[in-house]
Amino acid sequence: MVRKTVAIRDELYKNIESNVSQEYNSFSELVSNALELLIEKQKRDRYKQAMIEASQDKMYLNDLKEIEKDFEFADYEAV
């Protein structure tokens, strides 16, 4: 486990104490949880952006069409 010192605005800390702190065993748990959520959100946002970019990439779209054509009858094949 890593120990870090952080500075938090007074108003934010008061808001945390009055609204959120009861849900966690410690302030460290709250911060760790919040950071995990932030990291997951950033991953989803990057993935979403990559998919938007891919949807505008003609080469990528052509590859998808070729793959779709190659596997067109795969669902009908016996296992």
The secondary structure element, H or E, covering residue 12 is helix 10-19
DSSP 48-64: HHHHHHHTT-HHHHHHH
Domain count, the chain: 1
Global confidence as pTM: 0.68
Distance CA 10, CA 20 (A): 15
Q: Is residue 79 one of the residues assigned to a domain?
A: no
Q: Is residue 78 one of the residues assigned to a domain?
A: no
Tokens for 67, please give them. 């793959």
Q: CA nearest 34: which of 53, 12, 55, 51?
A: 12
Q: Which domain holds residue 54?
A: 10-73
Q: Rounded mean pLDDT of 21-41?
A: 92
Distance CA 21, CA 14 (A): 10
> What is the per-residue pLDDT for 10?
96
17 pLDDT tier (thresholds 50, 70, 90): confident
